[in-house]
Amino acid sequence: MGVALTRSAQWTAAGHGTATLEVTPLNEAILKEIIVFVESFIYMYPREAKFVFVEPLGWKTNLEPSAFGSGYVVSENTVKSEEVDKNGEPLLFLSVPQIKVRNFGQLSRLLYIAKDRKLKEAQACLEANRDPVVKILGSDYSTTKREDSSTFNGLDKMTKGDDPEQEIKTNVAMLIQHLDMHLLNYSLKHIALEIRLNPSAIKNDIDLLKRYSGKGEQTVLESIEYTSDYEFSNGCRAPPWRQIYGEMCYVLVKPHDVETLCITCSTEGVFLNGGKTDDEREINYERKGKIYKDLITILREKSATFSKNMAKQENTFNEEQQKEKFQPDEAPKKEEATTKADSEKTTLQKNQINFGRNPIGKRLEPSLNWKNTVDLKDRKSLGRDTQEEKHARLEKGRPSVAPGRMQLARKATDKPEEIISESSSESEEDEEPPDHRQEANADLPSEYWQIQKLVKYLKGGNQTATVIALCSMRDFNLAQETCQLAIRDVGGLEVLINLLDTDEVKCKVALLDCGQNSSEPPQPSLYETRDVEVARCGAQALWSCSKSYANKEAIRKAGGIPLLARLLKTSHEDMLIPVVGTLQECASEENYRAAIKAERIIENLVKNLNSENEQLQEHCAMAIYQCAEDEETRDLVRLHGGLKPLASLLSKTDNKERLAAVTGAIWKCSISKENVTKFREYKAIETLVGLLTDQPEEVLVNVVGALGECCQEHENRVLVRKCGGIQPLVNLLVGINQSLLVNVTKAVGACAVEPENMMIIDRLDGVRLLWSLLKNPHPDVKASAAWALCPCIENAKDAGEMVRSFVGGLELVVNLLKSDNKEVLASVCAAITNIAKDQENLAVITDHGVVPLLSKLANTNNDKLRRHLAEAIARCCMWGRNRVAFGEHKAVAPLVRYLKSDDTNVHRATAQALYQLSEDADNCITMHENGAVKLLLDMVGSPDQDLQEAAAGCISNIRRLALATEKARYT
């Protein structure tokens, strides 16, 4: 009734935050099961039936008072149960049409009274109480707080002491938990009958795509991975409460030409979901866009590179797909599956909790034959024990499954049915069927074992063996997850880091840059050369491993940053390249950026920008690009003289990879105004303008991003125009690269602040191109285009006429107020503020319904949106009866709350909006009732003159209304 309702049942939004149960066979079946449970409660569990809910379950009923008989006090419009709680409150109270029920006993009787309306009453109750467990047991038992659990919160806190009330509450909680599991299992069986796409077909497609994925231009994808390593017995990887909706698994796909796609594979087809949530542990399951018939179809549409490369591989791919469908060993697999199913059934029977000692269990067993799930804590501890045992076997030389290997082979070793409950004996827990190990071994490629052997040589070999092992490791594709797991599982990352920190004195004459001050280059001996080669190969292997987030963390925790900082002082460029490459990869993580600052690594990165080695220059620039997200790092680059070499490298355009890295570093460094001044001094802006044509997209994105930052200043906007930069910028507005469009719209918008620039943009049809980008499906592009339109409208010669010339343009802008993206909403509100300066345009957008849409946004806590929304409301008040309409649409009270913000810009915009709204008497009353006067009085003394005037004007209008009311009362 808790988890089952929130996850198993199928709901439809009904507006105003409510939802209704869809009319489906599954929902009807769930309701009937719940009715059977509640009806039998009063007879099966009389003690628990008297347990009083923490809050009553309330809903609108169609039952008439006359339907109630003995045991109830009935009047014309009300019914009270004679049964009351310890405070004398009735446990059932009906005041037509609202009914409130406080225990299962009364719910059971109510269903009996409802007779043929049981289903309707149950549906109404559940629709009105989406999380009934909270009302029954309290907020500690919420089912909606955690989407990652098949149970509800608080069950693991329950204890059975001497308190009889607590014992009864525990019993009730257990009964609801068993009902939930029954309903989930029931629903899964129901869903299984409706499957169209199946887990096996999806798995085959993903496995095939993996074979054709990897680095390089000819592969179809960069990578494709499941979001979960755990596979259920039915082949699905989605949690049970999502399998209810037909979802089977979720995959993260990284094409070569677009951002990572998070895709849901369901029985209906495949579709984009909302991606990973902020904490990176959950999936936003909401569907984004249409449903496609399979993975190949969706990827063809989303990625042009995939479609092109897939066409080249299509014949081979289709042949392998057919082989996967018709494998000769299919019959033996079926036989094996049957045997395994019988085995799992026996295990499951063993795993049922023994209720013999618990009286509630004795009553539960005859009525409902529901299976109990394994306790999560027991499962985790058992999993740890199993790993410890396997590592112990590894030390003895026996085959085992390492942690990373367990991730790859978990479907064979971590079935929930094979987890043993508390009632199982210790001997059963210690058993490990040998066929599981064999199955796990079969799932791992030979590279896994070969790399682990090489790491063992690194651990125990002499210097010659170490060099050979490291060079051999480089022959493998260390960017692949399997290879990285192999290194990590056997402790290879620590070994690699230790190699870099060797205590060999001879290896330290090379790493610590001895002889750097000598007038002649050092002549290392054969042994010194070999030691340097050991460290270089170690750094190279570490660089390859650093592409994985888990490995980055392992390197950091193993003390890798101080070591890398020390290695940056070497004069051996072959050593520096992998060291800087590792830093470049790791700097994408915030924790690393902080450590990089602390270890004074930026100074050495800047120093190596002056190297003659192009690859080293590239990686140093890329590392600066990653680190320069932070303001302090941007300042450090300037203080250590890094801006000048970056500016000088702009003129060397033959190496596109280096150029992309350099322009990226300049872009990020340009976020600081002091750096922009230096770049202008070094003539970098003129060079950037020259790079706006005939360059790869990755270079253009960075060049335009840098110009967008530089053009925040007047001198640079003029400089871009004089260098002929406006036209190539406008030309880039017709592209399809989302990152490029975001940056170019920002740059064009920054240039449009200058009236002379705006004339050129208008002549080149740039405003129309910006307006068309409001239709772009990517929210960042929409928002950036809307921000760019603001200075365009503000500085255009005849802005009103220009805006009206775009057919359907005003309606498009107003409709964007329906977006759920805060940045889009804020930018559109800012655009509307500028559009509404023209009375004719204001009249048009009013006709398109701008007032109710703006009013609907008023309940927001986002200060950026608040500011621009308030400005838009203030401007829209200046037409017709819009002031009155804003009041009618409940926009005034939320606006008053904006005055409590900490942002002065929000205060100013809000006071101006309230001043305009206060011209209507009803709005003045609403403001006064919501405490606006006291807040506005404090702002009359603000140093911001516009805020002073608006606050004073609003107070004056409210006061004038109050005086008029008083006068009318006395006359």
pLDDT of residue 526: 36
Contact 662, 697 (CB under 8 A): no
pLDDT of residue 676: 93
| Residue 263 β-bridge partners | 251, 272
**Residue 373 vs residues 2, 145, 150: alpha-carbon distances, Å:** 16, 20, 9
- What's the half-sphere exposure (Cβ side, CA atoms, 13 Å) at 659? 20
**Residue 466 vs residues 457, 461, 686: alpha-carbon distances, Å:** 6, 6, 51
pLDDT of residue 188: 65
Question: Rounded distance, CA 760 to CA 765, Å?
Answer: 9
Question: Rounded distance, CA 659 to CA 407, Å?
Answer: 39
Could you count the other beta carbons within 10 Å of the beta carbon of residue 661?
Answer: 27
Which homologous superfamily is 711-848 in?
Leucine-rich Repeat Variant (1.25.10.10)
The strand ranges marked E within 628-758 are: none
pLDDT of residue 281: 66
Which candidate, 268, 184, 237, places its Cα nearest to that of 9?
184
Using left for φ > 0, alpha for ψ between -120 and 50, and beta otherwise, residue 518 falls in beta
| Tokens read off for 577 | 């390249």
Domain boundaries, the chain: 3-192, 199-314, 447-515+523-599, 711-848, 850-970
Which residues of the chain have a pLDDT value below 50?
7, 15-17, 144-160, 195, 325-442, 503-508, 510-528
Question: Rounded distance, CA 779 to CA 820, Å?
Answer: 10
Question: Rounded distance, CA 551 to CA 557, Å?
Answer: 10
- Local structure of residue 820 (DSSP, 8 states): S
Question: Rounded distance, CA 259 to CA 742, Å?
Answer: 14
Where helices occur in 82-236 by DSSP H, the ranges are: 104-114, 118-128, 132-137, 164-192, 199-211
**What's the burial of 482, exposed, middle or buried (CB within 10 Å: 0-12/13-18/19+)?**
middle
Which candidate, 512, 598, 536, places its Cα nearest to that of 561?
598
Could you count the other beta carbons within 10 Å of the beta carbon of residue 846?
Answer: 18
pLDDT of residue 468: 62
Question: Rounded distance, CA 217 to CA 199, Å?
Answer: 30
pLDDT of residue 133: 86
Q: Which residues, at least 6 apart from 386, have a Cβ–Cβ distance to it below 8 Å?
A: 413, 432
Q: Do domains 199-314 and 850-970 have the same CATH topology?
A: no
pLDDT of residue 324: 54
pTM (two decimals):
0.51
Domain range 447-515+523-599, its CATH number among 3.30.470.20, 1.10.3720.10, 3.10.50.40, 1.25.10.10: 1.25.10.10
CA quadruple 366, 369, 375, 378: dihedral sign: positive
Which candidate, 916, 849, 710, places its Cα nearest to that of 702?
710
State the Cα torsion 135-137-142-143 to the nearest 10°.
-90
| CATH level 3 topology of 850-970 | Leucine-rich Repeat Variant (1.25.10)
Give the 3-state secondary structure of residue 8.
helix
Could you count the other beta carbons within 10 Å of the beta carbon of residue 915?
Answer: 21
Spell 799-808 as b/e; 16+ CB within 10 A means b. bbebbbeeee
Q: Which residues, at least 6 apart from 594, have a Cβ–Cβ distance to it below 8 Å?
A: none
Show the CA angle centred on residue 889, arms to residues 883 and 894, nearest 5°: 90
Residue at token pair 């365009």: 792
pLDDT of residue 212: 84
Question: Rounded distance, CA 573 to CA 115, Å?
Answer: 86
Spell 895-907 as b/e; 16+ CB within 10 A means b. bbbbbeeeeebbb
Residue 832 phi/psi, 5-degree rounding, is -65, -35
| Tokens read off for 629 | 């997200």
pLDDT of residue 664: 93
Q: Which CATH architecture has domain 199-314?
A: 2-Layer Sandwich (3.30)
